[in-house]
Structure 1
Amino acid sequence: MNDTIRALGLPDPDAVFPNEYGTSCYIKNVVKAPNIQIGDYTYYDDPADPAGFEQNNVLFNYPEFGDRLIIGKFCSIAAGTRFIMGPANHRISSVSTYPFQVFGGAWAALAPPHLDQLPRKGDIVVGSDVWIGRESVILPGVHIGDGAIIAARSVVAKDVPPYTVAGGNPVRVLKQRFPEDLVRLLLAWRWWDLPPEELAEAVPLLCDPDLDAVRSAIRQRLEK
Structure 2
Amino acid sequence: MRRTDRFPISGPNSLWQIYKTVSFWKVFKNVIIIMIGRFVPFMAMKNWLYRTCLKMDIGPYSSLAFMVMVDIMFPERIKIGRNTIIGYNSTILAHEYLVKEYRIGDVIIGDEVMIGANSTILPGVTIGDGAVVAAGTVVHKDVPAGYFVGGNPMQVIYTKEQMENRQK
Higher percent of residues as helix: 1
Q: How many residues align?
A: 126
Structure 1's consecutive aligned runs of 4 or more residues displaced over 4 angstroms after TM superposition are none
Aligned 1:16-27 pairs, distance under 5 A? 23=41, 25-26=43-44, 27=46
TM-score w.r.t. length of structure 1: 0.50
The structure having more radius of gyration, on CA atoms, is: 1
Please name the residue that 1:118 is paired with: 102
**133, 139, 157: which is aligned to 1:174?**
157
With the length of structure 2 as denominator, give the TM-score of the two structures: 0.65
Q: Which runs of 5+ in 1 are unaligned?
A: 1-21, 93-116, 183-208, 212-224
The correspondence for 2:139, drawn from 156, 162, 179, is: 156
Instruction: Give the superposed CA RMSD.
Output: 2.7
- CA spacing shift, 1:24–1:44, aligned 2, 3 Å: farther
Alpha-carbon offset, residue 127 of structure 1: 0.3
Aligned to 1:90: 98
Q: 5 Å matches for 1:18-167?
A: 23=41, 25-26=43-44, 27-31=46-50, 32-34=53-55, 36-46=56-66, 53=68, 57-62=69-74, 68-86=77-95, 88-92=96-100, 117-120=101-104, 122-167=105-150
> Structure 1 residues 143 and 210, CA, compared in 2 at 3 Å: closer, same or farther?
closer
- Of structures 1 and 2, the one scoring higher in RCO (CA 8 A, sep 6+) is 2
For the residues of structure 2 that align with 1:172 and 1:151, how far apart are their CA atoms?
10
- Counting aligned pairs with the same residue, the percent is 31
- Counterpart of 1:174 in 2: which secondary structure? strand
Q: Distance in 2 between matches of 1:144 and 1:78?
A: 15
Instruction: Give the C-alpha shift of residue 89 in structure 1.
Output: 1.9
Judge conservation of contact 2:112–2:130 (CA < 8 Å) in 1.
Answer: yes
